[in-house]
């Protein structure tokens, strides 16, 4: 048997986010196009050599991007919306980043979640364009690896079915035309790679793991029949991940040379399918046995057991030992982490450590012996050391959750009753304006926080700075004319990290960065123990802000499911139990805010939907405990306390019932890049609670006009009753500049004032 080590993909950000800094310097015009391309090339070469040094046998190319790989393909295939014609002679990079981020006179493409991860991709827009291959960028990366490093790599490309499945703009009548144009382009890319010496081409088809109706299965079969016919000399491996292969018995027979299957997140279904239907002996199987989405070291005995089971059931000639998905979802290396508890550090494996694990397992499968003596025993030792540590034995938390009753998950009166009580108590105007919570984290804010953490300024000096910055922004908000204010969150580096720093059971890395979208990187906390509330986390800052104004200042919390989904979570407890621990902890913070006199409390759940399992038959169980965790947080307040929440990228049609069941008094939705779709959804599915549709895109630096936002508000008024209508940006403003933030909010308030006059005059 031939056994080879590989990964689906490797992080492109660099161990110290070198990639992010290069891109942002280019955006600031600190680099010329030539300098920019040269720096990116060096980053690509360095990461190839590094993977080689780690012992990886089959290295992947095509997993590097300047912003997003779906956007890469859209530009590569000339899938460029007509609105970008207004750009005057843009360079390739200027056009690319206009689609990603917007430009002065044109809005960006829509951005949404990559399956059930915290990564966001740019949504390709089909407008009937004639598709052509502009440049084979994947070939460029292959040739670069071959010529500069001497590596004959495995090129990877997002597959045609997944690309179309995640694109927008076409109806069913156009879909066949869209695909027919794409297949020859994919074939051209593949044939050019084959001619250049690529032995295998990896085609990523994560959409093969979703629920697929029979007509979609037939479509996939036809796509690959045509593609393989056009690429007779290529060896294609279809790579799936995040779930088990759907319709295994049919799709495994596609006329390709290999399949990559996820044996980590498949609920053991891939192995069951192999047991039931077998695996074609003439195909290569890439066994995704190392978890590409978490940071825990592998149990070597379990991994080898899975591989041996596959071997016994298939008798295939060629296997690859691989990650379950791309390693872009984990940090690069744990080697720079110096402050983590030993029992935690020993049990961690980031991308580099996972490659070493793959190399160890591959050697064992090849030679029948381990590279290091005692490797398996040590893996069990570090797992057991953390499992028995006191951080996972908190009896107070265990007792509190055991004593919960159904009444702990329910508001004392219905929404309609609360709506009237809150109307009389709060006395807000029609169409109240507010923001989602955060304001720009300026260079001064970041420098001051850094100085405080380094001990260069005292606690008192830092507290005074935060107080002054909050006061300044309270005044700015009053001058703008917002109705409900926020304190700005200047004390918070990240909406999850901040709360983790104040709760037990969390740990934090110094360099554990992963990409969220574009150049935006986040450092997910590690939930490794029981979560407990020990002291107020937000009360002081909000109360101080409230003293500065007669308007209401919202208390701002991150919700339990978002904290869960945006963290690396312990793998010895169910996610449901961890979510309830967080929900109970946050419940005590909500009670503290209420006791301090805060009347409007926002508990954000932007990640609620992204946690949905890919298979719809598994949705109900997830939504049951996810909604319960939110309601546990928010249900113990008096009826006059108005509970808000916020969500991102929410496909409303298939998610309206869970949103309603949260029973939040007001929800704000991130909709600016897909506003028309949501209006259509609301026509079909009226929403009975308070709602604010984001009226401008905070991911873009452009300032929308009053008229632009007023149009959105007028369209929204057709589906949202005046009594339920709130006006807000579509997300927090932390990443924006102060000047554009103030200008955009002034226009938003001006649009709201026009709307109020128009409605009164009707």
Residue 701, φ and ψ in degrees, nearest 5: -75, -10
Q: Tell whether 648 is in a known binding site.
A: yes
Residue with tokens 């008192």: 460
pLDDT at 172: 86
What DSSP state is assigned to residue 108?
P
Q: CA-to-CA distance for 63 and 97, rounded, in angstroms?
A: 18
The single residue of 265, 347, 360, 699 carrying the catalytic annotation is 699
DSSP state of 725: E
Q: Residue 762 pLDDT more than 80?
A: no
Residues β-bridged to residue 348:
296
User: What is the spatial distance between Cα 80 and Cα 28, in angstroms, rounded to a whole number?
Assistant: 24
Region label for 687, one of left (φ > 0), alpha (ψ between -120 and 50) or beta (otherwise)? beta
Q: What is the pLDDT of residue 78?
A: 96
Quick check: is 403 in a domain?
no
CATH code for the domain in which residue 340 is found: 3.20.20.210
436 marked among binding-site residues = yes
Note whether residue 362 is domain-resident: yes
The sign of the dihedral angle between the CA atoms of 545, 546, 547, 551 is: positive
Angle at 522 between CA 667 and CA 451, to 5 degrees: 110
Supply the pLDDT for residue 658.
87
| Alpha-carbon distance values, 242 to 206, 239, 261, 324 (Å) | 7, 11, 9, 8
Q: 3-class DSSP state for residue 756? A: helix
| 335 and 455 inside one domain | no
Mean pLDDT of 153-175: 95
Distance CA 385, CA 113 (A): 36
Strand partners, 111: 122
Is residue 324 within 8 A of residue 3, CB to CB? The reply is: no
Contact 428, 479 (CB under 8 A): no
Selected residue with higher pLDDT from 128 and 672: 128
CA distance 219 to 183: 12
512 located within any domain: no
Residue 665 forms part of a structural domain: yes
Specify whether the CB–CB gap between 696 and 709 falls below 8 A. yes
* pLDDT at residue 652 tops 70: no
In which band, very low, low, confident or very high, does the pLDDT at 653 lie, cut at 50, 70 and 90?
low
Q: Is 650 annotated as a binding residue?
A: no
User: Helix or strand or coil: residue 462?
Assistant: helix
Residue 405 included in any domain:
no
Q: Does 660 count as an annotated binding residue?
A: no
Q: Do 344 and 475 share a structural domain?
A: no
Pinpoint the alpha helices (H) of 288-410: 300-314, 342-345, 351-367, 375-387, 395-402
Q: Is 667 helix (H, G, I), strand (E, B) or coil?
A: strand
Looking at the DSSP bridge assignments, the partners of residue 515 are 521
356 and 216 in one domain? yes
Same domain, yes or no: 296 and 199: yes
Residues 359, 462, single domain; the answer is: no
Q: Mean pLDDT score of the chain, rounded to an integer?
A: 94
610 is an annotated ligand-binding site residue: yes
- Beta strands 555-558; 111-113: pairing state: unpaired
Instruction: Give percent of the chain above pLDDT 70.
Output: 98
For residue 302, the tally of other CB atoms under 10 A from its CB is: 12
CA-nearest of 670, 708, 715, 710 to 692 is 670
DSSP structure class, residue 429:
P
Q: What is the dihedral of CA 284, 290, 292, 295, to 10 degrees?
A: -170
Residue 433: strand pairing partners:
727
The mean pLDDT value for 303-329 works out to 95
Q: How many domains does the chain have?
A: 2
Ligand-binding annotation for 489, yes or no, is: yes
Tally of CB atoms within 10 A around 26: 21
Q: Per the domain annotation, does 524 fall within a domain?
A: no
315 plus 423 within the same structural domain: no
Q: Is 17 annotated as a binding residue?
A: yes
438 annotated ligand-binding residue? yes
Q: Are 509 and 452 in contact (CB under 8 A)?
A: no
8 A C-beta contact, residue 246 and residue 216: no
**Residues 478 and 352 reside in one and the same domain:** no
Same domain, 369 and 455: no
Q: Is 651 annotated as a binding residue?
A: no
pLDDT score of 1: 76
Domain of 250, in residue numbers:
2-389
What's the mean pLDDT in 304-325? 95
Residues 253, 280 contacting (CB under 8 angstroms): yes
Per-residue pLDDT, 247: 98
pLDDT tens string 477-487: 999 999 999 99
Question: pLDDT digit string (tens) for 375-420?
Answer: 999 999 999 999 999 999 999 999 999 999 999 999 999 999 999 9
Confirm whether residue 18 is marked as ligand binding: yes
pLDDT over threshold 80, residue 675:
no
Helix, strand, coil percentages in the chain from 3-state DSSP, rounded to 5? 50, 15, 40
pLDDT at 676: 62
Clarify whether residues 375 and 428 are in a common domain: no
Q: Is 114 annotated as a binding residue?
A: no
| Structure tokens, 745 | 């909010």
Is residue 118 marked as binding?
yes
The reply, when asked if residue 116 is annotated as ligand binding, is no
Helix axes 18-27, 92-101, angle to 10 degrees: 100
Q: Are 636 and 584 in contact (CB under 8 A)?
A: no
Query: Is residue 400, in this structure, part of any structural domain at all?
Result: no
Comparing 124 with 684, the larger pLDDT belongs to 124
337 and 443 fall within a common domain: no
321 closest CA partner among 289, 353, 279, 274: 289
670 annotated as belonging to a binding site for a ligand: yes
Q: Is 478 annotated in some ligand binding site? A: no
Length of the chain: 762
Q: Report yes or no on 528 lying in a domain.
A: no
- Same-domain check for residues 326 and 458: no
Q: Is residue 75 over pLDDT 60? A: yes
699: annotated active-site residue: yes
Residue 672 has pLDDT above 70, yes or no: no
Same structural domain for residues 184 and 225? yes
| Dihedral-angle region of residue 294 (phi above 0 means left; psi in -120 to 50 means alpha; beta otherwise) | beta
Of 253, 242, 251, 241, the closest CA to residue 286 belongs to: 241
Tens-place pLDDT, residues 13-53? 999 999 999 999 999 999 999 999 999 999 999 999 999 99
Backbone angles phi, psi at 179, to 5 degrees: -65, -40
Q: Is 521 annotated as a binding residue?
A: yes
Q: What is the pLDDT of residues 225-242, one digit of tens each?
A: 999 999 999 999 999 999
Residue 649: band (very low, low, confident or very high) from pLDDT cuts 50, 70, 90: low
The angle at the Cα of 711, spanning 486 to 120, to the nearest 5 degrees, equals 60
Q: Can you read off the two tokens belonging to residue 492?
A: 């918070």
Helix, coil or strand: residue 353: helix
């Amino acid at each position: 048997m031939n056994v080879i080590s590989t990964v689906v993909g490797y992080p492109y950000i660099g161990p110290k986010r070198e990639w992010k800094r290069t891109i942002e310097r280019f955006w600031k015009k600190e680099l010329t196009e030539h300098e920019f391309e040269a720096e990116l090339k060096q980053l690509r070469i360095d990461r190839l050599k590094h993977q080689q040094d780690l012992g990886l046998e089959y290295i992947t190319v095509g997993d590097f991007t300047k912003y997003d790989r779906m956007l890469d393909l859209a530009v590569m295939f000339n899938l460029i919306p007509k609105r970008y014609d207004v750009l005057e002679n843009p360079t390739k990079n200027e056009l690319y980043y206009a689609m990603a981020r917007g430009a002065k006179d044109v809005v960006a493409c829509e951005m949404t979640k990559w399956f059930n991860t915290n990564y966001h991709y740019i949504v390709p827009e089909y407008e009937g364009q004639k598709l052509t291959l502009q440049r084979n960028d994947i070939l460029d990366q292959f040739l670069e690896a071959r010529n500069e490093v001497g590596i004959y790599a495995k090129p990877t490309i997002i597959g045609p079915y997944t690309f179309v499945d995640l694109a927008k703009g076409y109806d069913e009548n156009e879909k066949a035309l869209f695909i027919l144009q794409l297949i020859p382009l994919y074939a051209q890319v593949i044939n050019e790679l084959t001619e250049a010496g690529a032995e295998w081409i990896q085609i990523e088809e994560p959409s093969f793991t979703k629920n697929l109706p029979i007509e979609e299965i037939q479509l996939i079969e036809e796509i690959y029949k045509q593609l393989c016919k056009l690429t007779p000399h290529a060896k294609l491996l279809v790579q799936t991940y995040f779930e088990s292969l759907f319709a295994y018995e049919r799709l495994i027979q596609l006329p390709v040379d290999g399949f990559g299957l996820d044996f980590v997140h498949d609920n053991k279904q891939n192995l069951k399918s192999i047991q039931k239907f077998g695996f074609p002996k003439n195909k290569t199987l890439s066994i995704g046995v190392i978890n590409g989405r978490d940071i825990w070291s592998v149990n070597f005995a379990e991994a080898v057991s899975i591989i041996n089971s596959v071997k016994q059931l298939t008798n295939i000639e060629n296997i690859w030992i691989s990650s379950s998905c791309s390693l872009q979802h984990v940090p690069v290396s744990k080697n720079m982490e110096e402050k983590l508890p030993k029992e935690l550090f020993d049990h961690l494996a980031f991308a580099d450590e996972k490659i070493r694990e793959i190399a160890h397992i591959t050697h064992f499968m090849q030679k029948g012996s381990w590279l290091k003596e005692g490797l398996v025993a040590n893996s069990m030792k570090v797992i057991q050391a953390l499992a028995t540590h006191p951080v996972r034995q908190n009896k107070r938390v265990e007792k509190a959750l055991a004593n919960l009753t159904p009444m702990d998950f329910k508001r004392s009166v219905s929404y309609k009753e609360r709506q009237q009580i809150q109307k009389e108590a709060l006395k807000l105007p029609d169409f109240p304006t507010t923001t989602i919570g955060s304001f720009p984290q300026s260079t001064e804010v970041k420098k001051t926080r850094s100085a405080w953490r380094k001990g260069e300024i005292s606690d008192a000096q830092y507290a005074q700075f935060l107080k002054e910055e909050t006061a300044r922004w309270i005044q700015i908000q009053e001058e703008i004319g917002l109705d409900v204010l926020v304190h700005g969150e200047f004390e918070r580096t990240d909406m999850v990290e901040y709360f983790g720093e104040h709760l037990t059971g969390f740990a934090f890395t110094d360099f554990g960065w992963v990409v969220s979208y574009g150049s935006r990187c986040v450092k997910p906390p590690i939930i490794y123990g029981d979560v407990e509330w020990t002291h107020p986390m937000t009360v002081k800052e909000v109360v101080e802000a409230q003293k500065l104004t007669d308007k209401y200042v919202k208390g701002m919390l991150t919700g339990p499911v978002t904290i869960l989904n945006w963290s690396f979570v312990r793998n010895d407890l169910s996610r449901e139990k961890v979510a309830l621990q967080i929900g109970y902890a946050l419940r005590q913070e909500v009670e503290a805010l209420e006791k301090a006199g805060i009347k409007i409390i926002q508990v954000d759940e932007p990640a609620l939907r992204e946690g949905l399992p890919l298979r719809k038959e598994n949705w109900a169980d997830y939504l049951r405990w996810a909604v319960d965790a939110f309601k546990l947080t928010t249900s113990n307040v008096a009826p006059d306390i108005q509970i808000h929440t916020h969500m991102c990228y929410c496909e409303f049609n298939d998610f309206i019932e869970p949103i309603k069941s949260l029973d939040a008094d007001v929800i704000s939705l991130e909709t600016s890049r897909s506003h028309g779709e949501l209006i259509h959804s609301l026509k079909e599915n009226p929403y009975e609670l308070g709602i604010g549709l984001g009226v401008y895109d905070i991911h873009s630096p452009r300032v929308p006009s009053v008229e632009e936002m007023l149009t959105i508000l007028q369209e929204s008024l057709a589906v949202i009753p005046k009594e339920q209508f709130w006006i807000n940006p579509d997300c927090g403003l932390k990443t924006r500049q102060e000047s554009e933030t103030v200008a955009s909010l002034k226009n938003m308030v001006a649009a709201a004032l026009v709307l109020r006059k128009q409605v009164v005059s009707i």
